[in-house]
Structure 1
Amino acid sequence: MLIIKAVIRPEKVNEVLSELNEAGFPAVTKYDVVGRGKQQGITAGSIHYDEIPKEMLMVGVNDEDKDDVLRIIINNAKTAENGNFGDGKIFISSLDEVYTISTGLKGL
């Protein structure tokens, strides 16, 4: 099992969530986050914005579903055919165990 965390532009969230749902991945946790990438924020005139608003989507998946979920996120979170700075990042980590609180059952 894996946990996929995608930090994306807020205006792309609905597209990504819709496509994940259509592909059979309806279970997603969403966070409002702020941060900056390699470009260290943006400067507009004399003002420097160090913390850029983003959304983090967290999806637990079985190993065999990783490539499908990655493709959906990447294809729907980019702002142009070749992407732009600030489109986001995806982090993937192993997930040792998952339990459903209501039933106590182990697994996704």
Structure 2
Amino acid sequence: MFGASLIAGERVVVLHPVVQRDRLGDILSERIEREHVENVVVAPSPTDDLDPSRPQGSRRAYTLCFPKTYTADLQGAQIEVRGQICRVIGSPRRYTESNVPGPWNLTVDVEHIDG
């Protein structure tokens, strides 16, 4: 489609909660479905130490670029990146198709906090 790329994507796992409810809306069961997504570009973002009240805490953040073929909504999702479960920050939106000639058009910021 776009020829050989100089950028190599990775596999990430999107974690989708699946909740089964009764007719009154009460939760009957919950489970997590794991969706493997190939060719996601993973770019580490700056890491931060947390505030002084959490001296052992640290924050790891990534910017993920999802391929155009991925169409699910990621707001509020969790994504496993390099073995760490990260939460999606905000509400990811796609770039305008005509402005993105390459295979990726959805940028997602995620974070993982330790401590």
Whether TM-score is above 0.5 comes out as no
Greater C-alpha Rg: 2
Q: By percentage of residues, which structure has more strand?
A: 2
Q: Report 1 or 2 for greater relative contact order, CA contacts < 8 Å, sequence distance ≥ 6.
A: 1
